Amino acid sequence: MKKNGILNSHISKVLADLGHTDYIVIADVGLPVPDGVPKIDLALTYGVPSFRDVVHVISEDMAIEQITIAEEMVAQNQDTFLYMQQKFDHIPLLKCSHEEFKRYSQQAKVIIRTGESRPYANCILHAGVHFGTAAR
């Protein structure tokens, strides 16, 4: 049994398999999942687990070099937008239209569906590279 980190075996495997520039989507309950893109459905009920909870846990275990959100989040879900800005103040935060966001999601390695029911609570996490501090 794992001692720490993400316990969900599906998410843990996806993160371990990511390469540089691969990306995953963390989605609210309403984001459509394109045919052929795997979905890990964490939604238990509306709001559980929250978008923030899932983003926080995954960001602790993933090297992220860039984040993409829908520009509609800025005006229609300001709390989530402010959370993303503050949490990832050291990572580039790109914006695109929601329609473009849905097109990008077609190439995601996985879409992780949360129970979030606020609009536009979706993000694309682009994998970076972590070379660690192993002794040489």
Please state the domain count of the chain: 1
Q: Is residue 61 part of a domain?
A: yes
Q: Is the pLDDT of residue 134 over 70?
A: no
Specify the pTM: 0.94
Q: Which of 61-65, 71-75, 80-84, 129-133 has the lowest mean pLDDT?
A: 129-133
Q: Is residue 14 part of a domain?
A: no
Q: How confident is the model at residue 136 (pLDDT cuts 50, 70, 90)?
A: very low
Q: Is residue 125 part of a domain?
A: no
Is 8 within any annotated ligand binding site? no
Is 75 within any annotated ligand binding site? no
pLDDT of residue 84: 98
pLDDT of residue 3: 84
Instruction: Decide if 130 is catalytic.
Output: no
Q: Report the alpha-carbon distance of residue 114 to residue 56 in Å, rounded.
A: 12
Q: Is residue 6 part of a domain?
A: no
Average pLDDT over all residues of the chain = 95
How many Cα atoms within 13 Å fall on the side-chain side of residue 63? 13
Q: Is residue 131 part of a domain?
A: no
Choose the catalytic residue: 10, 20, 56, 90: 20
Is 120 within any annotated ligand binding site? yes
Domain ranges, residue 61: 19-119
CATH code for position 76: 3.40.1650.10
Q: Is residue 27 part of a domain?
A: yes
